[in-house]
Chain A
Amino acid sequence: MPDHWSGFSYLVTNLARFIRPDEVTFSGVNSTPPMLACLLAKRAYDFDFVYLNVAGGVQPAPSTIPISSSDPVLSEGSTAIFANEDFYDLCTRGGMDLCFLGAAQVDGRGRTNVSVIGDWHNPKVRLPGGGGGAVMLPTAQRAVTWRTEHSTRTLVETLDFVTAAGGLAGVVTPVAVFVKREERLALQSWHPDASLDEVRQRTGFDFVATGAATTPRPSVDEVAALQALDPDGQFERDAHIALR
């Protein structure tokens, strides 16, 4: 096992750890880390789960791992095409157990902003926009997001715009894992090379850390699965993730 646990591996591995046996789990557009997490879980864990993705895949077995997380290769090996309206309707009627959703800003209540930095009508930065969040975050059984940067500008006290509400079940950054507890995000664990103090300093919202500890290091199977998905480290290099 490597001494240094890279931010990229930490992020993908801890996203995968939200996946539970037999549940319906979904990865979407613009979502390379969750796509890798779902594929990692399929390889590393000794349980089955129903993997759906935005390319219409149902339990797919893609022959290559695409750069774009909506690439049609992600439906290769699928026995059905479960297209966009299908998986959204599944989610709103309560059939999506775990949904991975992107975010630019996250607040302490587990709400997200993917719309804008600054005022919506006078934007400093126009972001991608609504996407799946406003519908999926409040209707999925659990929704989990990730940030490749852990800072007071990404984990904020006040969102510039509330794109989606409903309370994230989890947030993973390169140095920390948060989970939902009593309608707030609480720290579950932190990277072995970081500390509780560091996480507090770099987080813009208040959180409880009762019972939090360092994150368990990746298992041999988790390391091997990520290695198999990213043999030459291209995804890791493209992700540009630093611990700090």
Chain B
Amino acid sequence: MDTKAHTTQTPMRDHPATPRLTLAGVTKTFPGVRALHNVGLSLYPGQVTALIGENGAGKSTLVKILTGIYRPDAGTITVDGRQVSLASAHDAFEQGITAIHQETVLFDDLSVAENIFLGHAPRTRFGTIDWRAMRSRAAEVLKGMGAAHIDPDARLKDLGIANKHLVAVARAMSIDAQIVIMDEPTAALSAKEIEDLFELIDLLKREGKAILFISHKFDEIYRIAERYTVFRDGEMVGEGLLADASQNEIVKMMVGRAVDHIFPERQPQIGAPMLSVSDLSHPTEFDGISFELRKGEILGFYGLVGAGRSELMHAVFGITRTSRGTMTLDGAPVAPRSAAEAIEAGVVYVPEERGKQGVVIGMPIFKNVSLPSLKRTSKSGVLQLKEEFGLARKYTERLDLRASSLSQDVGTLSGGNQQKVVIAKWLATDPKVIILDEPTKGIDIGSKAAVHAFMAELVEQGLSVIMVSSELPEILGMSDRVVVMREGRIAAVYDNKGLDAVTLVQTAAGIAA
């Protein structure tokens, strides 16, 4: 693929004056990882530049450099033609740079007005905060952006996420920020709220702000942005006007390869029942769950967030107690009362919350991998490091883990590589059933494909897989059958032959077809 040709083709027409902010040759490395290498970026007044890239492409690092949290190893940052150094969050603030994050970094227990004016509150003659002026100016700012419905005295925590974004924007307006960074602002918004946000962005554009917009959603990018910059693996691989680039071209730049055939082809060899769950119930989370998982099968669990899928899997894995119901594994009844018992029986669980439940950050890779297998790798309780390294190497290399050494802290790995460590840890226990909860959430496309290919390989070897996923392509691309859950119950079980996304969504939401 030729990205160079594309960048040089960028037409010079429609260039509004000069860029407000320019990054050139910015490089940032962390131990073992090159997060950014010689990247550039320009933001123009009155225009939205979309920053596009897979997870791990370096977008977050760039945002942190722009907001003064990280300092680059090399490169220059120019604001309005003057070279600046952004050594702290305060420096960034002084340069008129403000960021709106996917989870806003405002203060929940302060009022709307306090959040808007934190750090630059209007003062009285005596140097104390002028509360009245602050309130009225907050109301003014909110009204000016069509958000008069927000009460300046309201506690921030009582607002919905969309209104919190509005407060963040109001803050940006109040400090007269000329450069606004929006890091996936629409991730938690409804369609209506997104449209409101876009109208606000249009307003910011008219006021001549330079906006950096980070999103994974192409419809949004084409709706709101004029320019694009594409990052891949920490490098800038293309930039230009969106009007000149098709969605397909940009996707190709992002992944550096064609995106078809993400899901592995496989010929399922489905055998006898492996795990039978009957009438499993929990006082609050799920009720009367019965399903069967067969040998060599990938059973997808689809549902809306809050349908009780993760809670059900926690119960199968022995973490959550059930109130009723039975389970049979490979013909024998099981009732795990702890994860340790479930693992012993042959059921393992790759959790959705990787950082909290999956990996022990602060410990090296090999210790993470051997943790559930310590009984086998040690001799009457005495550690055998050679065995542990051997075990860790066997499974991490099989998963193509990218790490500088097995003694590297697992916390320094990217999300995709951490997930590989979690999967390696479970494979080392030689399980019968492996439950994957949102296995590819927050990991880059390359690692995603590796996880999918590996799942296919596992079932080929006779393992049984339960895959909880909220991603329709993943459910449809990987499952042999799909269980749809709704409000703690099983709404339907489908054979994945000719199954379509619409049916799944309708079943999950309880909408009649």
Chain A complexes with chain B: no
Chain B residues with CB under 8 Å of chain A are none
